Amino acid sequence: MKNYRLLMLTTLIISGCSMVYELIISAVSSYLVGDSTLHYSITIGLYMFAMGVGSYLSKYIKKDLFNWFTNIEIGVGVLGGLSSLLLFLANLYLESYELVMYVEIILIGTLVGAEIPILTRIIEMDKKNLRLTLSNLFSFDYIGGLIGSVAFPLILMPKLGFFATAFMAGSFNLICATLIVFKYQDRIRGSRYYKLTTILLLVLMLLGMFVSENIGNIIEQGLYRDNVIMSEQTTYQKIVVTRHKDDIRLYIDGNVQFSSMDEYRYHEALVHVPMSVASGRSDILILGGGDGMAARELLKYPDTNITLIDLDSEMTRICSEDKVISELNEHALSSDRVTIINMDAYEYLEKCDKKYDVVIVDLPDPNNEALAKLYSNVFYRLCGQVLNPGGVINVQSTSPYYATKSFWCVTKTLESEGFTVAPYHLQVPAFGDWGFNLAVKSDNDYLVDEGASSEEEVMTVADSSENKVDSEYAPVQGKIDISRIKLDENIETRFLSNENIASLFIFGKDEKPADMNDIEINQLTKPVMIQYYNDAVRNWE
What are phi and psi for residue 307, nearest 5 degrees? -110, 120
When pLDDT is averaged across residues 357-363 and rounded to a whole number, the result is 97
Strand partners, 285: 307, 359
When pLDDT is averaged across residues 517-539 and rounded to a whole number, the result is 89
When pLDDT is averaged across residues 409-425 and rounded to a whole number, the result is 95
Q: Residue 72's pLDDT is what?
A: 92
Q: Contact, 439 vs 395, CB < 8 A?
A: yes
Task: Give the count of alpha carbons within 13 A of 25, CB side only.
Answer: 34
Identify the CA nearest to 523 among candidates 536, 513, 532. Answer: 532
Count of Cβ atoms closer than 10 Å to residue 489 Cβ: 6
Q: Residue 459's pLDDT is what?
A: 45
Identify the CA nearest to 427 among candidates 504, 325, 529, 332. Answer: 504
Distance CA 389, CA 233 (A): 41
Is 362 an active-site residue? Answer: yes
Question: With 90 as the cut, is the pLDDT of residue 46 above it?
Answer: yes
When pLDDT is averaged across residues 47-62 and rounded to a whole number, the result is 92
Q: Residue 539's pLDDT is what?
A: 83
Q: Residue 255's pLDDT is what?
A: 83
Q: Which residues contact residue 348 at a Cβ distance below 8 angstroms, ignoring those fewer than 6 apart?
A: 287, 309, 341
pLDDT tier, 409 (very low <50, low <70, confident <90, very high otherwise)? very high
Question: With 80 as the cut, is the pLDDT of residue 180 above it?
Answer: yes
Q: Residue 171's pLDDT is what?
A: 96
Per-chain mean pLDDT for the chain:
88
Q: Residue 256's pLDDT is what?
A: 87
**Is the pTM value of this prediction over 0.85?**
no
Alpha helices in 452-491 (DSSP H): 455-458
H or E stretch including 47?
A: helix 36-57
Q: Which one from 253, 322, 362, 365 is the annotated catalytic residue?
A: 362
User: 225-239 pLDDT, tens per residue?
Assistant: 788 888 888 888 889
Count of Cβ atoms closer than 10 Å to residue 103 Cβ: 13
Q: What percent of the chain has pLDDT above 90?
A: 61
Q: What is the 3-state secondary structure (H, E, C) of 66-135?
A: HHHHHHHHHHHHHHHHCHHHHHHHHHHHCCCHHHHHHHHHHHHHHHHHHHHHHHHHHHCCCHHHHHHHHH
Q: At what angle do helices 157-183 and 65-81 cross, to 10 degrees?
A: 160
Q: Residue 3's pLDDT is what?
A: 58
Q: Residue 127's pLDDT is what?
A: 53
When pLDDT is averaged across residues 87-108 and rounded to a whole number, the result is 90
When pLDDT is averaged across residues 387-409 and rounded to a whole number, the result is 95
pLDDT tier, 126 (very low <50, low <70, confident <90, very high otherwise)? low
∠ at Cα 81 (77, 84), nearest 5°? Answer: 150
- Sign of the CA dihedral 149, 153, 154, 158? positive
Identify the CA nearest to 311 among candidates 248, 374, 354, 357. Answer: 374
H or E stretch including 530?
A: helix 528-540
When pLDDT is averaged across residues 250-263 and rounded to a whole number, the result is 90
